[in-house]
Structure 1
């Protein structure tokens, strides 16, 4: 909110100048648009895939299922730089580098652990006999899930969706490796701007991202 170009605290004057500069910049707006497209698309896909995966994992506790759960949760424990390098080489082979679909898929992978973990918590609290009763009344598993199970675990699904969205909107490292020049996310553009010059606009954008994350 400082009215000057220099990052001093407390600010000598108060102003919305740098928020206005952000909104007036076509480059920043384009980066924001890309980030929102990637975050929304990847959050939705992560939620669909993660909910289905969590439901399948909850049906049984075999060793194979536990192994699959560990694989799904790996992005939470593997250092992000190692993940980014691996994604870079895989996407380079299949032609997904510097593409919007590549950015979305990478963020789906990073968002899945949050959705799976959140939905599994909801499913563990859900009484499975309710779904069994629905199936005994003639519903197949698919209809029983949407009619009985999903409404009961909706808070967990929404929680996973929000975590996946925040993960995607804040993601920087993987974007630096795979986004290229055409599809710059907001965080990548901020990183580039910090490297090239100290622009107070970055501080205003950071405050907006912090507000979104909370």
Structure 2
């Protein structure tokens, strides 16, 4: 919203002061994250800017820590870079690559389960006639409210009796518990603007429940479903507390590997991994914004 031409001087002062304040707050929140990226190119094993980096000396910058992310844990680091033997060694033995494979496989499994269960729950909760609707909603979103360490400790004692500790299934189930509430919230919000007369029209034309869901309901709530899935994926990919309680080395994820690196072996390779995750998060945010605008167009709202 632009400032009208008839605005008074104090209104103009307030307009520009508010925007300047918002920019300062945004920089305050984003700057600690952005500082990580140039630090990851430090040629020295330090977590601070060296004198050479401050002078923009090319010799002070290096990709050594990004290479260390790939080569840390390799059996033979003398192999030619990018050769098939080098790639095979990296894929099989690199600690960070091992953690990345675990993170993606666990996050994908948890996202699929969260999306399925969360969407079904949201469809049921969108019915006004459902008994104890508010109580069930509060129960489903409680993992967001309850401290993560409390939920993780509770799951540890339960999963230990069920034999779900130190295996992938237990971690996927745990991450599903944390990710499903986001799917419930986004799909429920998408169903709030859903025109139910379309369902009645489909029934009058002889369409069955499955056809109505696939042809009418799903296309309209799909942006909400995908947004919830992205939230669930990000939640699972970022989760570390539950992994500490439930996993051993074989199930170690990227956040768990970073946590171990900070405590046991401090290396700027952690900054390189963090920079990659920042870029990955920005990509997810861009996708979510595209989906938000698409949902607005579907509902006939002009994108903001």
Give the 5 Å matches for 1:89-104: 89-104=157-172
Structure ID, larger Rg: 2
Question: Which is further off, 141-150 or 158-167?
Answer: 141-150
Q: Distance in 1 between matches of 2:196 and 2:280?
A: 35
Q: Distance in 1 between matches of 2:127 and 2:203?
A: 15
Kindly tell me: are residues 4 and 68 of structure 1, through their superposed partners in 2, closer, same or farther at Cα, counting changes over 3 Å?
Answer: same
Does residue 52 (structure 1) correspond to residue 120 (structure 2)? The answer is yes
Q: Which residue of 2 aligns with 1:3?
A: 43
Q: Distance in 2 between matches of 1:169 and 1:213?
A: 10
Q: Paired residue for 2:247, among 157, 165, 179?
A: 179
CA RMSD of aligned residues (A): 1.3
Q: Which residue of 2 aligns with 1:167?
A: 235
Q: Which residue of 2 aligns with 1:23?
A: 70
Q: Distance in 2 between matches of 1:183 and 1:80?
A: 19
Q: Distance in 1 between matches of 2:213 and 2:120?
A: 10
Q: Would the aligned equivalents of 2:149 and 2:241 in 1 still touch at CA under 8 Å?
A: yes
Q: Which runs of 5+ in 2 are unaligned?
A: 1-40, 54-59, 73-93, 283-304
Question: Which is further off, 199-208 or 59-68?
Answer: 59-68
Between 1 and 2, higher relative CO (CA 8 Å, sep ≥ 6) is seen in 1
What is the total number of aligned residue pairs between the two structures? Answer: 214
Q: Distance in 1 between matches of 2:274 and 2:266?
A: 13
Q: Would the aligned equivalents of 2:124 and 2:130 in 1 still touch at CA under 8 Å?
A: no
Kindly tell me: are residues 197 and 24 of structure 1, through their superposed partners in 2, closer, same or farther at Cα, counting changes over 3 Å?
Answer: closer
Question: Which is further off, 10-19 or 91-100?
Answer: 10-19
Q: Distance in 2 between matches of 1:201 and 1:39?
A: 23
Q: Which runs of 5+ in 1 are unaligned?
A: none
The 3-state SS of whatever aligns with 2:250 is coil
Give the 5 Å matches for 1:187-198: 187-198=255-266
Question: Which is further off, 58-67 or 171-180?
Answer: 58-67
